[in-house]
């Protein structure tokens, strides 16, 4: 079974079953995403699906480390949850997607709290900014939860995937990296008591 057949089966199991022929639906949306008039070839469709699946898997890299094991391990878990959310987006499995977003909400609340305690204990001077950025990220997740109750289509897969990645990158790269010079003055095993 090739990628298109697999996607077609997933879509036909979804809410589109009665309204659309799955393969035609898939091809039409790929053409729209490619900005191309129909028809596209099967080869082009397979290439599109493969590149989407490949580009979606986020991987932890050493340069994402903020210098504290406990914060890094939370961030690794975020990447795992976001990959799960994206897999459920690709298969348009709304129940799994909701579960992943719920998990992200619960875990991020615990993580933000842990991170703020560690930051404060190592004397990070931008505590207010850190706390405010966490509130903004929590609000963005709440908004996302509302949005995923709307229609799920192949175009929305790309849209939600971008939102999740922006969420992670805003947190990891923009805010948490600022703590690195303070965290690395301590052992990577440092924990706030």
Residues near Fe ion, by CB under 5 A = 115, 176
Cβ 147 to Fe ion shortest distance, Å? 23
CB of 36 to Fe ion, least distance (A): 40
In the 8-state DSSP scheme, what is residue 186?
Answer: S
d(CA 34, CA 163): 20
Closer residue to Fe ion, CB minimum distance, 86 or 115:
115
Residue 100 CB, shortest distance to Fe ion, in Å, is: 18
Distances from the Cα of 65 to the Cα of 70, 162, 167, angstroms: 10, 22, 17
Integer angstrom CA distances of residue 94 from 29, 35, 38, 151, 192:
19, 26, 28, 10, 38
Q: Which residue has the tokens 């990158």?
A: 169
- Which is nearest to 170 in space by CA: 56, 82, 90? 82
Q: C-beta of 188: minimal distance to Fe ion in Å?
A: 15
Q: Which is nearer to Fe ion, 68 or 91 (CB)?
A: 68
Minimum CB separation from Fe ion for residue 89, in Å?
Answer: 23
Nearer Cβ to Fe ion, position 66 or 154?
A: 66
Nearer to Fe ion, 71 or 152 (CB): 71
* Integer angstrom CA distances of residue 140 from 108, 145, 167: 12, 9, 8
Residue closer to Fe ion, measured from CB, 137 or 158: 137
Distance CA 67, CA 97 (A): 31
> Are the C-beta atoms of residues 69 and 183 closer than 8 Å to each other?
no
Provide, rounded to whole angstroms, the least separation between the CB of residue 70 and Fe ion.
10
């Amino acid at each position: 079974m090739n990628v298109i057949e697999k996607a077609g089966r997933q879509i036909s199991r979804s809410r589109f079953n009665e309204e659309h022929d799955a393969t035609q639906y898939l091809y039409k949306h790929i053409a729209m995403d490619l900005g191309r008039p129909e028809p596209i070839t099967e080869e082009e469709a397979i290439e599109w699906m493969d590149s989407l699946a490949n580009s979606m898997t986020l991987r932890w890299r050493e340069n994402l480390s903020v210098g504290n094991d406990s914060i890094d391990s939370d961030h690794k878990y975020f990447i795992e949850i976001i990959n799960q959310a994206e897999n459920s987006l690709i298969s348009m499995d709304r129940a799994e997607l909701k579960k992943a977003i719920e998990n992200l909400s619960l875990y991020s609340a615990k993580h933000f709290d842990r991170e703020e305690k560690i930051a404060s204990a190592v004397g990070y001077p931008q505590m207010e900014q850190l706390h405010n950025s966490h509130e903004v990220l929590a609000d963005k997740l709440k908004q996302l939860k509302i949005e995923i109750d709307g229609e799920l289509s192949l175009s929305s897969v790309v849209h939600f995937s971008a939102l999740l990645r922006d969420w992670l990158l805003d947190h990891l790269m923009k805010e948490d990296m600022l703590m690195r010079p303070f965290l690395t003055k301590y052992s990577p095993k440092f924990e706030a008591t």
